[in-house]
Chain A
């Protein structure tokens, strides 16, 4: 019986190891992150604010989002574009018309708009690590560029999205134009050949461009029976960040931190002990009777104890 380390050393894992060129040229964008109030014991923590489930992700709610992030002691965030962009959906407006208006807005945003959002966040001591954009086939090339431009002004190191392998191929030329990375976000649909769910699919995606990095979703990978610790061992140079949460194996349910199968403590200690510049973005989808801000406090405390 080989241990994971022995397995890697013997080269038996070679098919899963990325091409050398990719490793050499991997952008260490995360290393440029300046530690802030949620840099704990050598690990940079942040939040995926999707977990404030009661707070609609709109730019009108951005002030409340910032207040909650401060309350939770967070200095870094993965900001979904809907916290920044206007919404054009309304009664009497068709989805296609709303989509066209959004595209038009993205291509010609108000002058200094992104700078003003950046100022809000800077004043609160919050850095945007990644900008989450729902990239899909409806995007024009100019719109991809516009999303990166906006993200860069916000201070983001990369753009993240829940797209699959096919769209990834289209995205290859864009991040390098802006000196950023694309974060591939895995889900757990093993039945979809286009989806990032298995280790093999993620390796395939990462091999498309040195500017592609993983935003490894620990919850989803655990539910897809992935080996999170092994993945980090093998591919840590290509992992920009992790969505940290807990879930049970075999497509199991989300669970409070420590009650599922995700090796959260091991992963955080690997990041700490190896001084990897991997950002840990907390996220939860498990149920709770507590207010979300309190639940985030509990999750953050769990992680702080893990790296203490």
Chain B
């Protein structure tokens, strides 16, 4: 009899544990989407949700109610590694004309703040990219594009050096795609010491991310017109 009961008990125990695990690991994929391939971004997304940011500002920065639109906020656009968002998160915005002030998050660790900032910038880039690629393509102004290039791009690129002949090699559509999503920056994130030393690539990635977060449709059209007109 004992021999018969033992496997049954084991099965019951296993079923019970499985049920507990299922409850414990319950994850709202309908809202959060499937887990992301990049664990850093996955952690950032979960932190953004867990501390309630998504409740008002929206998981993908489509804000609800009276919350600030982070997708188009100038402050977010000027933020570099949390230098503006971080202090604001810690202090909140108690003085406001809105129904509810933005809460302060002074109890969060620096890592948690950094994760929230990471998600805000990532989601903003995704959203801005979608907006810019969905926008009607209009002919740009090459002169205005040159002015933009000189201000925002010339510290790393030059039309007669690394971008020499780019106007002949690519058509406007390809140039537009390269401006919005530079292929050279598509590298897998790594924490090996060698990769951590690659500060140049990291800086370039950050710079292009910042540009993407702030491009207007006109900026992109003008830039493409300038690059296309280059000899």
Contact = CB atoms under 8 A, between A and B. Distances in A.
B163 interface: no
A251 B31 contact: no
A26 to B, nearest CB: 27
Given A162-B99, A251-B94, A288 B104 contact: no
B30 A54 contact: yes
Given A223-B103, A251-B104, A252-B103, A286 B94 contact: no
A287 B104 contact: no
A187 B65 CA distance: 15
Interface in A33-86: 53-54
Contacts of A236: none
A248 interface: yes
A290 B26 contact: yes
Main secondary structure of the interface of B (DSSP, over half): loop
B160 interface: no
Interface in A259-308: 285-292, 294
A138 interface: no
Contacts of B52: 253-254, 285-287
A251 B94 CA distance: 7
A188 interface: yes
Contacts of A162: 99
Given A188-B100, A220-B100, A288 B107 contact: no
Interface in B14-52: 26-28, 30-32, 46, 48-52
B53 interface: yes
| Chain A interface mostly | loop
Given A189-B98, A191-B94, A289-B46, A253 B28 contact: no
B104 A188 contact: no
A250 interface: yes
Contacts of A189: 96, 98-101
A290 B28 CA distance: 5
B61 interface: no
A250 B99 CA distance: 16
Contact of B92 (A251, A289, A294): A251
B53 A251 contact: no
A166 to B, nearest CB: 14
B55 interface: yes
A260 to B, nearest CB: 10
A170 to B, nearest CB: 18
A294 B26 contact: yes
A250 B105 CA distance: 10
B123 interface: no
Contacts of B50: 287-289
Given A187-B99, A192-B97, A253 B51 contact: yes
Interface string B51-75: 1111110000000000000000000
A191 B105 CA distance: 19
A289 B43 CA distance: 12
B26 A287 contact: no
Given A53-B55, A288-B50, A289-B32, A190 B27 contact: no
Contacts of B30: 54, 291
A288 B49 contact: yes
B155 interface: no
B136 interface: no
Contacts of A252: 103-104, 106-107
B94 A248 contact: no
B49 A287 contact: yes
B103 A191 contact: no
Nearest to B103: A253
B108 to A, nearest CB: 8
A195 interface: yes
B95 interface: yes
Given A53-B31, A251-B92, A253-B104, 4 more contacts: A187-B99, A251-B94, A252-B104, A287-B49
16 contacts: A53-B31, A54-B28, A54-B31, A187-B99, A189-B96, A189-B100, A191-B95, A191-B96, A192-B97, A248-B103, A248-B107, A251-B104, A287-B48, A287-B51, A289-B50, A291-B28
Interface of B: 26-28, 30-32, 46, 48-56, 92, 94-101, 103-107
